[in-house]
Structure 1
Amino acid sequence: MDMTTVGDTGLLDALQHEVAVFARRAEQTRLGGVGQVRNSMDRAAYLLLNRLDKEGPMGVKALAASMGIDSSTVTRQVAPLVDTGLVKRTSHPEDGRAVVLQLSPRGLARLDEVRSSRRQLMAELTQDWEPEERETFCALLTRFNGALSARMTVPGASSADSEPAS
């Protein structure tokens, strides 16, 4: 079903273009902060570490469900985080056969570095914005991401990159 009208076609074209430009620039810089390569982090790693920090230790299936992606994707994405010591695999306290993933102290320190650098970047990019403009932009971007996430949960749609709003 075509949800556009003649009046908003130009606006929707501009919106899709700006979203595409944003996605490309975000990926190019990995939103690494203030130009410091050491503070950049892969999108998947950032989202996984952030989720473990916010929700605490959990199994692969719970982490996958929490992020709206499948378990095989989490397993593949978490492997290098375990290899580099950012995430620890531990036994489940109630079922020693089950594995629980948790943020290591090194992982938390790295996540804090990246968050701080990204926060500084956001401050610099929006330094001439009024506080209300920042709040409005954040609210609209959160709403936009929520709509994308909801669309990704539609049967038959791929959810490999969806990240529900937190």
Structure 2
Amino acid sequence: MARSHPLPVDPLAEAKRQWLAHGWTDAAGGMSLVVSVMRAQQLLLARVESTLKPFELSFARYEVLRLLAFSREGRLPLSSVVARLQVHATSVSSTADRLVRDGLVARHKHPHDGRAALLELTPTGRTLVEDATDALNREVFADPGISEDDATDLVAIVARMRKNAGDFADPRPQPEPLSP
């Protein structure tokens, strides 16, 4: 989604100028922030989706597979997937249905709760998510388009915003990840 011919003027700066010119001074900074973050999200998602396309994965499908691969046994209750991905249950259920259809995930009855579903990564799904992760690490995550210092600052700023919105509470110290 990056332009091959950059625009001569930053349209978001022009939008802020217009906000100020129309007397919306109190909202101009917030509008600029919101629209800037939304545009950055579009740019990053385009890179991610382009990288995942050869694997026939959307980012939503990738997230479910990656979450299952991170779990100890490659399986989680559907409700845990919903909670950890912070998306609506209907969206996760629909994504899971497509992953099951494609043989990447199996759906089982939960052993302790007959009403709940358990999602389990298949060997094919595990191979695919590892290959897709390698590609994402190489093509997107290793160089997101800003310096490491800026990335660290931006993550901290966005984390404060998310925390203030009630997205999460201060975490307890986490153990170091296990070696692969």
Q: What TM-score do you get using the length of structure 2 for normalisation?
A: 0.60
| Shift, 1:101, TM fit | 0.7
Rg comparison, structure with higher value: 2
Q: Distance in 1 between matches of 2:155 and 2:68?
A: 22
Contact 1:32–1:40 (Cα < 8 Å) also in 2? no
- The equivalent residue for 2:61 is 45
- The equivalent residue for 1:106 is 124
Contact 1:60–1:100 (Cα < 8 Å) also in 2? yes
Select the structure with the greater relative contact order (CA < 8 A; seq sep ≥ 6).
Answer: 1
**Distance verdict in 2 for CA 1:70–1:138, change over 3 Å:** closer
Aligned length: 142
Q: Distance in 2 between matches of 1:148 and 1:54?
A: 27
Contact 1:32–1:117 (Cα < 8 Å) also in 2? no
Q: Distance in 1 between matches of 2:135 and 2:26?
A: 37
Q: Distance in 2 between matches of 1:124 and 1:65?
A: 29
* SS class of match (2:68): helix
**Distance verdict in 2 for CA 1:143–1:50, change over 3 Å:** farther
Q: Distance in 1 between matches of 2:144 and 2:86?
A: 30
| Shift, 1:73, TM fit | 2.8
- The equivalent residue for 2:91 is 73
Measured on the aligned residues, the alpha-carbon RMSD in Å equals: 3.3
Deviation per residue, 1:38-65 (Å, 9 max, x gap): 1573122122222222334122233323
User: Structure 1 residue 133 and structure 2 residue 142: aligned?
Assistant: no
Q: What TM-score do you get using the length of structure 1 for normalisation?
A: 0.63
User: Structure 1 residue 123 and structure 2 residue 139: aligned?
Assistant: no
* SS class of match (1:124): coil
Gaps of 5+ in 1: 1-5, 152-166
- The equivalent residue for 1:61 is 79
Contact 2:48–2:136 (Cα < 8 Å) also in 1? no
